[in-house]
Structure 1
Amino acid sequence: MKKKLIKNTSEHFDTLFHNKPQHIFLSPGRINIIGEHIDYNDGFVLPAAINKYVCIAISPNEDSKCKIVAKDLNEIFEFDLNDALVPNSDMWINYILGVLQQFKEKKSLDKGFNAVFSSTVPIGAGLSSSAAVECGFAYALNKMNNFNLTKEEIALIGQKSEHTFVGVNCGIMDQFASVFGKKNKVIKLDCTTLEYEYHNADFKKYSLLLLDSNVKHTHLTSGYNVRRQEVEQGLTVLKNHFPEVKTFRNCTEEMVNSVKQELGETIYKRSHFVVKEIQRVQDAVNALKASDFKKLGSLMTETHYGLSKEYEVSCDEIDFLVDSVSKEKTVLGARMMGGGFGGCSINLVEKGSENKLIESISKQYKTAFGIDLKAYKIKISKGTTEYKN
């Protein structure tokens, strides 16, 4: 799959530009085992890079002209680096223009480039195809221009691109996981300090399976930004009552419960979820260390019901998938993954049971919603890198 992606992207570049690309970069999508919607709430998350990639074939130019080809969309965008870069109505190019704008501000970026990119990261599945594009291009520009930026700086460039040119106030997790991923390791990331530690992702006789609902409801961006405003309101109330509280990390469930009336039903639910989810990540790390996969699975399922009932970012289709697999003996846990309102569920299942499970759930899902289910068996891989023959 990876070799085919590299070959097809490289050959497309050769066809369009009559030359082989000077560089090829691979930037992975990501999963998150647990810790959803708390990367912007000063929490901890537990992501990992996966073996689905954005591949970028690229060569520098001698002038300031740029031509970027989105192979999968069959679209081309051309511009001059000397011109003012502004968000475009074609959303896909904004992820890249936002990255370029920051390089222009931070560094002397005068050489243009030709690039073709293609992807095996499913779009809209909650696997952060956007972060893979942002970080892939940031990594490529850094390498080609010998800017010597750190991995952390590259991840932050990707995040800021999404804030400024895409208009989504995302946390740092997606970009960090894409850049810092290691084979067979999950990353426990402190989203406040960006301190991180790797933990073995050896699931023994279990594996991770993604079930793609094949739906993406349109209120993701608006819903996401509204959730951020709601939890900020909740934190303000908590700080007023408890001077020692600086972030949700300092909050306890008891504190949230004690101001429930003042918070109001909606803000209470949001705040309660965040405090519980921050603790669940710590518990999940301990479960992984102890190879207690039953506990890990139950924490994942708890997270889903928190996301669905308290944070209210799930949808009927994803709830159906989680409820359905939860009845299967071969499944230890399942939850919605990503921003929400569609996308994938992540499932901890017995190795060898995947095909039967996919077949059973696909039929149930098709009957309930008339939608074909997609499934991805994934492996945990290394982060963004330059591909060398």
Structure 2
Amino acid sequence: MKDKVLEGFEKIYGKRDDVKAYFAPGRVNLIGEHTDYNGGHVFPCALTIGTYAACAKRDDRKLRFYSMNFDNAAVVEGSLDNLDPENNPGWTAYPKGVVWAFEKKGFKLDKGFDLVIYGNIPNGSGLSSSASLEVLTGYILRDLYGFDVTNQDLALIGQYSENNYNGCNCGIMDQFAVAMGKEDNAIFLDTADLSFDYAPISLKGCKIVIANTNKKHKLTDSQYNARRSACEEALAELQKVVDIKGLGDLSIEEFEAHKDAIKDDDRRIKAKHAVYENQRTIEAVKALKDGDIKKFGELMNQSHVSLRDDYDVTGVELDTLAEEAWKIPGVIGSRMTGGGFGGCTVSIVKDEAIDEFKEKVGKAYREKIGYDATFYIVEIGGGPTVL
């Protein structure tokens, strides 16, 4: 891939001796969905698929972007002097948003750059192509301009840009998983205070299989922000009767004792998911550390049911993939991953059952939905890097 982006750069911008190649991963969340903006725990891992780039500084303040993922694409030009969110639609709003966010944080770029990107994360899959591109851009800026920021800072800057430049009120999980990824480990992250530890993933005789619905979704246009608002309102009502900073502070027993403070049924059930999912995630990581992969899988399944019935973010496509997966004896656990409303499921599947899984789930999906799902066997990778 390094050669591919470097050749792409040369083809678009000409030969340069100072061009460098970079990579940032995508991520999948094993359990802990819609908990990250509620001060709860998440359990994502970085993947070996992600976003590649070739980049070099310019002598002026011009910014030039090119994506190798679009056929017959044109170079998109911009300027450090025109980073207004209103004037920057399209995919380049993600890297431009990171430049804008760096400048808001006091890191000024003296010169522009030429950038070529190529991603092998399926578009609209919910495997965090946007966070991958944001962290990748931040990593490039740190490397090319010598900014004194940590990988954790890159995650926070990426989240800040997506919240304030792109208008998606996402939590910290995606950017954190991309920036802090570690090979063969998932990240057990407490989003309330960003404390975390790495948990080795030992799936003896099993693989992580991603199933992509191939239903296009866009979080900013979806009901994602509405779910977040419901949780914020529920939190405000609960704070009148119990001393908490986020829904993630509550045990299940505490939630059940105080839930009547939430006056609206819909808000109450959304808050219930946030609390129960957080406790499921804590329990699931303990099970994994204890070597109880069966228990981990059961909690994955429970997570999907809660996301379907309480949080209402799955839809027929994701439900079909998960529910058909549960019928196969070699499937340890299966659930939707990401924001929902399309995207992917993540499943832990015994090696000997992978072909059956793809065949039977794929056939049932095609018959019910009318088009194919796509299956990927993925490996856990590290964070951003210079290639």
Which TM bucket (shorter chain)? Answer: over 0.9
Q: CA–CA distance in 2 between the matches of 1:129 and 1:276?
A: 28
Equivalent residues in 2 for 1:1-389, closer than 5 Å: 5-20=1-16, 22-73=19-70, 74-88=73-87, 90-105=89-104, 106-217=106-217, 221-242=221-242, 244-263=243-262, 264-387=264-387
Q: CA–CA distance in 1 between the matches of 2:280 and 2:39?
A: 14
Q: In the TM superposition, what whole-angstrom CA distance separates every residue of 1:73-131 from its partner, at most 9, and x where no partner exists?
A: 22421122133433446321111111111222312311111110010011111100000
Q: In the TM superposition, what whole-angstrom CA distance separates every residue of 1:189-228 from its partner, at most 9, and x where no partner exists?
A: 1112111110101111111100101113467644111111
Secondary structure at 2:244's aligned position in 1? coil
Deviation at 1:239, TM superposition (A): 1.4
Structure-2 change in CA distance of 1:114 and 1:194 (3 Å)? same
Q: In the TM superposition, what whole-angstrom CA distance separates every residue of 1:155-211 from its partner, at most 9, and x where no partner exists?
A: 111101101121001011100110110110111111121111101011111111001
Unaligned runs of 5+ in 1: none
User: Is the 8 Å Cα contact of residues 22 and 59 (structure 1) preserved in structure 2?
Assistant: yes
Identity of aligned residues (%): 34
Q: In the TM superposition, what whole-angstrom CA distance separates every residue of 1:23-58 from its partner, at most 9, and x where no partner exists?
A: 111010001111100110001111110011100100
Output the amino acid matched with 2:11: T
Secondary structure at 2:352's aligned position in 1? coil
Deviation at 1:152, TM superposition (A): 1.2
Query: 256-265 or 184-193: which moved more?
Result: 256-265
User: Is the 8 Å Cα contact of residues 87 and 166 (structure 1) preserved in structure 2?
Assistant: no
Q: In the TM superposition, what whole-angstrom CA distance separates every residue of 1:246-268 from its partner, at most 9, and x where no partner exists?
A: 32133232343345455232111
Structure-2 change in CA distance of 1:120 and 1:218 (3 Å)? closer
- TM-score of the superposition, structure 1-length normalised? 0.94
After superposition, the CA RMSD in angstroms is: 1.5
Q: CA–CA distance in 2 between the matches of 1:13 and 1:361?
A: 40
Q: In the TM superposition, what whole-angstrom CA distance separates every residue of 1:278-326 from its partner, at most 9, and x where no partner exists?
A: 1111111111111111000000000001001000111011101111010
Q: CA–CA distance in 2 between the matches of 1:236 and 1:306?
A: 22
Residue correspondences, number: 382
User: Is the 8 Å Cα contact of residues 155 and 172 (structure 1) preserved in structure 2?
Assistant: yes
User: Is the 8 Å Cα contact of residues 64 and 80 (structure 1) preserved in structure 2?
Assistant: yes
Q: CA–CA distance in 2 between the matches of 1:93 and 1:235?
A: 35
Q: CA–CA distance in 2 between the matches of 1:134 and 1:84?
A: 15
Q: CA–CA distance in 1 between the matches of 2:167 and 2:336?
A: 23
Query: 84-93 or 225-234: which moved more?
Result: 84-93
Q: CA–CA distance in 2 between the matches of 1:319 and 1:381?
A: 28
Structure-2 change in CA distance of 1:88 and 1:313 (3 Å)? farther
User: Is the 8 Å Cα contact of residues 220 and 340 (structure 1) preserved in structure 2?
Assistant: no
Structure-2 change in CA distance of 1:84 and 1:345 (3 Å)? closer
User: Is the 8 Å Cα contact of residues 36 and 337 (structure 1) preserved in structure 2?
Assistant: yes
Q: CA–CA distance in 2 between the matches of 1:222 and 1:128?
A: 15
Deviation at 1:139, TM superposition (A): 0.4
Secondary structure at 2:39's aligned position in 1? coil
Q: CA–CA distance in 2 between the matches of 1:232 and 1:286?
A: 28
Structure-2 change in CA distance of 1:352 and 1:193 (3 Å)? same
Unaligned runs of 5+ in 2: none
Output the amino acid matched with 2:180: F
